[in-house]
Amino acid sequence: MAELYPYPRFSIAERDRRWRAVRALMRGQNLDVIVTPQNSGHSADYQANTRYLTHCGGGEPDLAAVFPLEGEVTAIATSAAPRWPTVQDWVSDVREARRNYGRAIVERLKELNVERGRIGITGLGEVEGTRTPEGTIFYGTWKQIREAFPQAELIDATALLDEARYVKSEEEIGALAKSAEINELAIRAEIEAAGVGVKDWEVWAAMHYAMTRNGSELPVHCFWVSGKNPKRTLTRPSMRLLERGDVIINEIEASWIGYRAQAVQPVFVEVINPVQAELIKVQREIFNRVLENLKPGVTVGELAELTRQTAARAAPKSGPAAGARGDLTMHGRGAGDDGPIITPHARSPKQLAVAMREHMVFICKPSAISADGEYICQWGDTVAVTKSGGRRLGKRAHELAVTGN
């Protein structure tokens, strides 16, 4: 066994819990093996299943895994030997792909004698992933498996891994809490760096500095935009100079051993917009009501309806927030591409029907929107579902931030 780097890790007990849970689901579907293909797209979100099962990952390498119902789990990587036995102690069978992952996957599947078996593949494309409606396995990889195993059944195992990953363990929630802590350090750095005349890009750089020096891996998926009244974040900062009255809106995600909590925190430069100052009161009320109701059995659809009702109740009769409405956006948080997801634009019946379970974790970021649609106030934190309602993983005050205070 290689000497392990000083790096945060999950326990062997956590590995065994995951493997037991996934294998129980495999038995239910009569699967002999699951292949989680390499695909480092979308900040490595698309291969989260590989990291979930092998603990190999970080830094956006391509990694695949072969996970049999019985027998040794195999991780497949390029530059395997120097890279991955040093960061994890879950899997000792780490094989060299030299970029030809399909070949290594086929080799391992042959050892497992699944020529006529049922081979599960995550991201096969028959079942929509949260952000991958057409799957994640590359054509060239699929072709090698199909040609090597013409008699085998290839089954889409996306939903199986989704199911296993929906409910987080204490260790996973601990990792997400650490990520949430880093997010809040990053927000603090953002508030400290932002000011009149400062380049938007430099504030963003300061935020990333806080994130990485406090242990976040890269890449991470952070959204950002600044301006007088921006309504939607972009994936990037700009070179514009901040002005008094500007607001930076964001989605900040630090990655702690691959686990990504999220925080949404509007930051105003010197002065808060008066409409937003009123809207945050409605938004806070929505957030708190949703949080209270994050209990096992409640569906995503019911939470969306609760959002609308709460906004109608909480919106004042007069003033800038009069007639404000609410929209719920929430989606799973964890190792990457976690579901379920609900946004004002993506509300599939399947996702709306998902019921809360204890230890599910979400970014909950409802919006309060002014009656004329000109102002959107969004604030969010990562929350865990408990029997008595949701628990925030972040600790910062639920308010609009302002620089210069």
Q: In what order do the strands lie in the sheet with 361-364?
A: 341-342, 330-332, 361-364, 381-386, 389-392
Residue 246 or 285 having the CB closest to other proteins: 246
Minimum gap (Å) between residue 303 Cβ and other proteins: 22
Minimum gap (Å) between residue 397 Cβ and other proteins: 26
- Which conformational region is residue 390 in: left (phi greater than 0), alpha (psi within -120 to 50 degrees), or beta? beta
Q: Is the peptide bond before 320 cis (omega within 30 degrees of 0)?
A: no
Minimum gap (Å) between residue 299 Cβ and other proteins: 24
| Segment (H or E) for 66 | strand 63-68
Residue 189 or 306 having the CB closest to other proteins: 189
What residues does 223 pair with on adjacent strands?
251
Structure-token pair, residue 387: 């029997």
Residue 72 or 209 having the CB closest to other proteins: 209
Residue 100 or 169 having the CB closest to other proteins: 100
Nearest to 280 by CA among 405, 399, 375, 372: 399
Question: Which residues contact other proteins (rule: CB under 8 A)?
Answer: 5-8, 39-44, 46, 58-62, 82-83, 86-87, 98-102, 123-126, 131-144, 201-202, 204-206, 208-215, 217-219, 221, 232, 234-236, 238-239, 345
Minimum gap (Å) between residue 205 Cβ and other proteins: 4
* Helix/strand/coil for 14: helix
Residue located via tokens 């409409």 = 275
Minimum gap (Å) between residue 90 Cβ and other proteins: 16
Residue 94 or 360 having the CB closest to other proteins: 94
Residue 172 or 217 having the CB closest to other proteins: 217
Minimum gap (Å) between residue 124 Cβ and other proteins: 7
Minimum gap (Å) between residue 53 Cβ and other proteins: 18
* Helix/strand/coil for 24: helix
Residue 39 or 54 having the CB closest to other proteins: 39
Residues across the chain:
405
Minimum gap (Å) between residue 261 Cβ and other proteins: 18
Residue 322 or 346 having the CB closest to other proteins: 346
| Segment (H or E) for 255 | strand 255-256
Residue 110 or 236 having the CB closest to other proteins: 236
Minimum gap (Å) between residue 171 Cβ and other proteins: 18
Minimum gap (Å) between residue 144 Cβ and other proteins: 7
E strands, 23-92, in order: 33-36, 63-68, 74-77
Structure-token pair, residue 292: 């209270």
Q: What is the dihedral of CA 166, 172, 174, 176, to 10 degrees?
A: -60
Three-class DSSP labels, 213-241 = HCCCECCCCCEEEEECCCCCCEECCCCCE
* Phi, psi for residue 175 in degrees, rounded to 5: -65, -40
Q: How far is CA 158 from the centre of its chain?
A: 16
Output the CA angle 117-119-125, nearest 5 degrees: 145
Residue located via tokens 């007990």 = 13
Residue 6 or 349 having the CB closest to other proteins: 6
Residue located via tokens 């290839």 = 154
Q: How far is CA 373 from the centre of its chain?
A: 28
Minimum gap (Å) between residue 5 Cβ and other proteins: 5
What residues does 342 pair with on adjacent strands?
330
Residue 38 or 310 having the CB closest to other proteins: 38
